[in-house]
Structure 1
């Protein structure tokens, strides 16, 4: 009887701790969004979103952040495409061509887990070294190299986890029909297709919000990025530079820029949840 009471007491304590954790995390999220909206909404305008910075924008004069919005979309879009084209074949190779449970398979996945957790500033330093070696200046290309290296582990590990959810019977039936390994892989890709889009959106969300990785490699420019070898502004860097200003109006614009970035991330999260729900229905 005392054993049952003890278990019930532990369960009640665990439930209370989980509730406190959930309330704390949710409250922190709403607090952050509330601060951004409270400080950013008074400064956001169509002029700010649709125009590039004019002379003295970072000391309180006219203009906007359109160059940073476009630069962020270019940077995140190109790097996500490259990371997807590189990451999906790697994930398929780890699951289809390497013996499962082997040392190579385990060590490879461990390596990508480590790469997944490395801070983005480390990727920035590595990419900067590569740029110096290749003679590439700080530009959109440098940022794409950095963010591609950063997002490849995200794509690989996400696709890898999706492939582990594929029923074994589906693989066996496909192979029993005489399909080659590559043909079987194409069947599995079709099965996890909604999940692949989820992985792409996750990588895109990480790419568009990164600042440390592009600080050394992308540079910064008030002009719209026309060519890949030109410096490009990004929203995170624009926010950083505006918050560094002692002028209240410029700091308010920083929160408005953060609000724009938050809305972009929110759209990505909503799309991710929609695709995740499609993946669940697909399995059923």
Structure 2
């Protein structure tokens, strides 16, 4: 077999593998969403969305999961905002102010790679230790601390990858024109602005869907979250507790809760893509 035929054969094999991977991933997505719709849609009612749990909700009686919906939104929104406010400056510092290829840059990025892969339950244990040391009980504040720590590496590594797409010549030109490092950083932010929304989406999706981290730190309550130092329900925990029930109706409500969570993330995805598309038109 000639070299040309070998290359063509390898290309066909690679193409088939990519097609199979795409079909598998797409099929898995449709299977998951279809299962949630099939099992959860019959139990999805306005009462479930607009009311808090009544007595005996988790054994099949009346009530809803409004407390968990609001708790998840509060937790994910504040945590994502804090992670973005902390993570973006870190990425800018490592890519603009720190010398490229230096030990500090390589060590910092390796550290965030490791932090990115640590399971959320470890973050929950660390945050729980911090809470005990600071005298903070299981509450919405504890969950915010945990999820912020969890999502900072996501934001940092995503922004870092985006900054790699900035042409090197663009950075050299700005410095040659006498721009300061801060002015260069602002130019970089303008260049990657559409991608920042993607980083925020990834952080928000991880924040609102995490269960292991908040299990130790957020607690659970059937009441609406009013104060940051009170326990708060979250949708993942509500799903977990309902799926643990042997009652079929309660298990159906768990799938309905998962459907609500999926719908919230879908809205965030659509809004993020709209914002990113709008910003792309003004990209320099």
Category of TM-score, reference length = shorter chain: over 0.9
Give, in angstroms, the shift of residue 260 of structure 1.
0.4
Tell me the residue number matched to 1:59. 59
TM-score (norm 1): 0.95
Could you say what secondary structure the match of 2:213 adopts? Answer: coil
Q: Deviations over 1:45-91 (max 9, x none)?
A: 11100111111110111110110000000000111111111111111
Q: Secondary structure at the match of 1:216?
A: helix
Shift of 1:103: 1.1
**Counterparts of 2:178 and 2:2 in 1: how far apart (Å)?**
61
Worse overlay, 271-280 or 104-113: 271-280
Mapped partners of 1:30, 1:40: distance in 2: 15
Secondary structure of 2:203's partner? Answer: helix
* Cα offsets for 1:117-165 (capped at 9, x unmatched): 1111110011011111111100000000000000000111111122222
Q: Aligned partners of 2:275 and 2:10: how far apart in 1?
A: 37
Question: Where in structure 1 do 4 or more consecutive aligned residues deviate above 6 Å?
Answer: none
Q: Is residue 200 from structure 1 mapped to residue 200 from structure 2 by the alignment?
A: yes
What is the rounded CA distance, in whole Å, between the counterparts of 1:49 and 1:232 in structure 2?
16
Q: How far 1:22 sits from its partner (Å)?
A: 1.4
**What runs of 5+ residues in structure 2 fail to find an aligned partner?**
none
* 1:57–1:63 contact (8 Å) kept in structure 2: yes
Return closer, same or farther for 1:111/1:282 CA change in 2, 3 Å cut-off: farther
* Structure 1: unaligned runs, 5 residues or longer: none
**Could you tell me which residue of structure 1 aligns to residue 97 of structure 2?**
97
Indicate if the aligned counterparts of 2:121 and 2:212 stay in contact, CA closer than 8 A: yes
Q: Distance in 2 between matches of 1:50 and 1:146?
A: 28
Indicate the residue corresponding to 1:269 in structure 2. Answer: 269
5 Å-filtered alignment, 1:9-158, equals 9-158=9-158
- Give the deviation of 1:271 after TM superposition: 3.4
For 2:238 and 2:217, the matched residues in 1 are separated by 15
Q: Please say if residues 91 and 156 of structure 1, whose CA atoms lie closer than 8 Å, have aligned partners that are also in contact.
A: yes
Which one is further off, 270-279 or 64-73?
Answer: 270-279
Over the aligned positions, Cα root-mean-square deviation in angstroms equals 1.7
In structure 2, what is the Cα distance between the partners aligned to 1:199 and 1:250? 35
Secondary structure class of the residue paired with 1:96: helix
Output the TM-score relative to the length of structure 2. Answer: 0.95
Q: Could you tell me how far 1:38 is from its partner in structure 2? A: 0.4
- 2:194–2:280 contact (8 Å) kept in structure 1: no
* Worse-superposed segment, 188-197 or 48-57: 188-197
Q: C-alpha separation between the residues in 1 aligned to 2:255 and 2:120? A: 23
Q: Which residue does the alignment assign to 2:236?
A: 236
Alignment-derived partner of residue 226 in structure 2: 226
